[in-house]
Amino acid sequence: MDFTQPEIDHIQNEFNNLKKKAVKSRKKENVELIDQAFDFAYKAHYPVRRKSGEPYILHPIAVATIIADEIMLGTTSIITALLHDVVEDTEYTSEDIAQFFGPKVASMVEGLTKMSGVFNHRSSLQAQNFRKMLLSMSDDVRVILIKLADRLHNMRTLESMPENKQLKIAGETLFLFAPLAHRLGLYKIKTELEDISFKYRHREDYERISKKLAESYKARTNFINKFALPIQANLTDLDYDFDVSGRPKSIYSIWQKMQNKGVTFEQIYDLFAIRIIFTPKENEGPEKAQCYKIYSLVTDIYHPRSERLRDWVNTPKSNGYEALHSTVMGPTGKWVEVQIRTRRMNEIAERGFAAHWKYKGQHDHEGELDKWLEKIREIIESPEASTLDFLDNLKLNIFSPQINIFTPKGELKTVPQGATALDFAYDIHTEVGNKAISAEINHKISPISAKLKSGDQIRIITSQKGKPKEEWMGFVTTQRAKSAIKSYLNKQRAKIVEAGKTKYIELLKTMNIKVNERIYKRLRDQMGVKSKDDLFYGLGKEIITEADIKKLLRSRQTPKWMRFWTIKKDAKNVEESTAIEFNKKQTLNISDEDIKSNLKIADCCKPIPGDVVIGYLDENDIIHIHKSTCPEAVKLSSGFGDRIVKVKWTSHKAMAFKVILRVEGIDSPAIAHQVTGVIVKELNANIRTIHIESKDKRFHGWVELYIYNRKDLNKLIMKLKGIKGLTKVHRENESPQ
């Protein structure tokens, strides 16, 4: 259908707005190139419309506007954004793009086109294609910045998509795109992606927190004005050019804090942060010194919480973020977070590595970006086959928070949060890791499995007799360490397999049996091994003895001991299925009989009837039921979106479900008796375990019990809250009601 005149006018207005926002493309030749790209994209996409019914061309214009205005990239990136869907969705080719706009734009459009089928609305994320996307990113970061802008606009217009697509796309975004934006320093985009994803995944919680923020807006504004007044007066006296503002934390971060700390909205003391942004004065010393001068000014007015000082001025985050963060006691007895930044630091905080290019030479953090891209290459080149393992490695090694540690000579190094001494050893060199036997952390001998904390000083102790062990794989976290250990173990396994093969051949010769496939298949079926290498490895390690083989070949029965023996193998390669038979739009009703047969309650989150849940269909056609808030559910939604099933409970009383309740309060001699008394009286529930600990006149503990549904659980929690002295009661991994 042709566009109407109002639609044509709207398209032209949006394009004119793009050109106004393109402050880095004001030269005549740049404007002409952007005009040409728009004309090309307009004709290529005409008269296609989006799901919402609006002309499709509005999407690339919006993506280009985000690139120009919110990420502040230049002409090449704007042109690429305008053309990013042309090769994928029209008859034009990369060669056509190169002919009109040059090889660089064509290469970037091709990099974005390679992602088609990975992060669009019609398919689920696939690990191999994601590897390709990261590979293109490691060649030119602008490609992923444009992809982030594309995802941001798709999220802003997600309302027009069906609900099952909304959940899939929101899951992918929360699992991968928001952390990716964070890792590149794009905090504003990261926050918006998280909030929109949260809105579609947990709409009721989103709306409840939004309402509470709106209701508290006036009180917050009054508090900020009162808090800022003496700071503004002192900064004015010092003749600084500055802004002081208060910004509430994102809805998603507030919800996360409620979940992680088990508190209510009203109990979160740092709902917002006061931000002081200033222009450094000439002849007043370096930026960092002036940041500390303002910090001193603030703490002269308000008493600081010393353990909450975060100095990212002297030691910037690995994505380049710089600022001083402090928590101080405000005028009404509330703790308040204060962030101090220069205008340069603030621009980097908003636009990440894209802003670093503007300041190249003055404050060059591109070395950190290069290190990060090198980690990406390690992940891409790893032989890991499993989709979920690949995604886990990605989250852990690329998107996880970084901590700072020191070498014995005082050199600063960064490693992922959760890294061990052995991870650090492999970061130095593969041979250092292979020969590591212990570590000296802060001048104390520690095991190589010890987790590192920010500020630790570490020395690795090695021995020529040291060598990697299989159990090391259980505690290392970085891809470099995992790859090195696996490589060593595989080489050792290959030697053992070869020795076992020699044993096998010699054994059959002594039994006058000809080596052939039929003999191997017979042994395979009787022993349950899946490959010849498994059989040879068992012989080489003497898990299987020659006597066992002889006995098997002389008898067709499997020995009793063999039924309980399996050779340890690598994780199964999970391939994503695209041929699922059920109707994705239909909701599957969960009955108690289903749970006894083809449904499985996930152990990670232990949902019960009444919880909001999703289903994941595995390769054996078993549907695993997860709470929609479960991190594993988010990961599965991201990795296997096409296997996610809409489910709801239909019966609640035929079987009971295990639940763990956390309790805290003021200690009293009969508290355990009171808690169990309420549980038995209210529900006649089966209490499996109760554990209470007391310290400093406070108690905390947990109760493990069986319960029928969420309604009964909520009723029980309300009754427990009526016990005098019990201050907190909530289900494990949930915030108090």
For range 48-64, the mean pLDDT: 93
Helix (H) or strand (E) holding 664: strand 657-666
- Spacing of C-alpha 365 from chain mean position: 24
CA distance 185 to 188: 9
Instruction: Pick the range with the lowest mean pLDDT from 38-52, 352-366, 490-504, 723-737.
Output: 352-366
Please report the pLDDT score of residue 119 as a whole number: 44
* Strand-pair category, 272-279 with 241-248: antiparallel
Decide if 288 contacts 342 (C-beta within 8 A). no
Strand ranges, E, within 170-317: 241-248, 272-279, 310-311
The long-range contacts involving 27-34, CB below 8 angstroms and separated by at least 24 positions, are 30/74, 30/75, 33/75, 33/79, 33/101, 34/75, 34/78, 34/79, 34/82
Q: Count Cβ atoms below 10 Å from residue 192 Cβ, excluding itself.
A: 19
Domains within the chain, CATH numbers bracketed? 5-209 (1.10.3210.10), 214-351 (3.30.460.10), 386-477 (3.10.20.30), 488-564 (no CATH), 588-649 (no CATH), 657-731 (3.30.70.260)
* Separation of alpha carbons 25 and 30, rounded Å: 5
Q: Write out pLDDT tens, residues 426-457.
A: 988 899 999 999 999 988 999 999 999 888 88
pLDDT band at 361 (very low <50, low <70, confident <90, very high): very low
Determine which of 241-250, 481-490, 536-545 has the lowest per-residue pLDDT on average. 536-545
Three-state secondary-structure class, residue 286: coil
Residue where the block lists tokens 């090391």: 472
Let me know if 89 is a catalytic residue. yes
The pLDDT of residue 112 is above 50: yes
One-letter amino acid of 400:
S
Confidence of residue 102 (pLDDT cuts 50, 70, 90): very high
SS (H, E, C) 29-73: HHHHHHHHHHHHHHHHHCCCECCCCCECCHHHHHHHHHHHHHCCC
- Average the pLDDT over 265-292 and give the result: 87
Which pLDDT does position 401 carry in this prediction?
67
At residue 560, the pLDDT reads 36
What pLDDT was estimated at residue 379?
53
Q: Please measure the distance between the N-terminal and C-terminal CA atoms of the chain and give it in whole angstroms.
A: 52
> How far apart, in whole angstroms, are the C-alpha atoms of residue 375 and residue 384?
15
Report the range out of 182-186, 258-262, 691-695 with the highest average pLDDT: 691-695
Greater model confidence, 689 or 319: 689
Asked if 697 and 666 count as a contact pair (C-beta separation under 8 A), the reply is yes
Residue whose structure tokens are 């004015």: 236
Which pLDDT tens digit goes with each residue over 131-186?
555 555 556 778 888 989 999 999 999 998 888 888 888 888 887 788 888 877 78
CA of 496: how far to CAs of 467, 487, 531, 537, in Å?
16, 14, 15, 6
Residue of 7, 69, 88, 350 marked catalytic: 88
Mean pLDDT over each residue of the chain, to the nearest integer:
80
Which has more pLDDT, 423 or 72? 423
Please state the rounded mean pLDDT for residues 309-335: 85
Residue 177 has, within 13 A of its CA and on its CB side, a CA count of 33
Structure token digits, residue 303: 């008493």
Longest dimension (CA), the chain: 101
- This prediction has a pTM of 0.61
What DSSP element (H or E) covers 625? strand 623-627
Q: Which residues lie below 8 Å from residue 568, measured CB to CB, with a gap of 6+?
A: none
Given the residues 7, 14, 89, 378, the one annotated as active site: 89
Q: Are 666 and 204 in contact (CB under 8 A)?
A: no
Q: Residue 327: which H helix or E strand, with range?
A: strand 324-329
Element (DSSP H or E) covering residue 699: strand 698-707
Q: What is the pLDDT of residues 498-544, one digit of tens each?
A: 998 998 888 888 888 888 887 877 777 777 677 788 888 888 888 77
> Which pLDDT does position 575 carry in this prediction?
33
Q: Give the lowest-confidence range in 201-205, 227-231, 286-290, 691-695.
A: 691-695
> CA dihedral in degrees (176, 177, 179, 182; nearest 10)?
170
Quick: pLDDT tens for 565-619.
333 333 333 333 323 333 444 566 666 555 555 678 888 888 888 888 888 887 6
Cα separation, 709 vs 595, whole angstroms: 14
For the ranges 190-204, 257-271, 346-360, the lowest mean pLDDT is seen at 346-360
| pLDDT 10s digits, 366-423 | 455 555 556 555 555 554 444 445 555 555 555 566 777 888 887 878 788 889 999 9
Question: Looking at the predicted structure, is the pLDDT value of residue 19 above 70?
Answer: yes
| 258-272, 585-599, 706-720: range with highest mean pLDDT | 706-720
709 or 210, which is more confident: 210
Are 63 and 86 spatial neighbours (Cβ–Cβ below 8 Å)? no
616-647 burial code (b ≥16 CB/10 A, e <16): bbeeeeebbbbbbbbebbbbbbbbbbbbbbbb
pLDDT of residue 292: 94
Position 679 scores a pLDDT of 83
342 φ, ψ (degrees, to nearest 5): -80, 170
CB within 8 A of 222, min separation 6: which ones?
none
Instruction: Give 617's strand partners.
Output: 623
CB-based burial of residue 585 (10 Å sphere; 0-12 exposed, 13-18 middle, 19+ buried)?
Answer: exposed
For residue 616, the model assigns a pLDDT of: 85
In the chain, what percentage of residues exceed pLDDT 70?
A: 80
For residues 83 and 98, what is the distance between their CA atoms, to the nearest angstrom?
Answer: 12
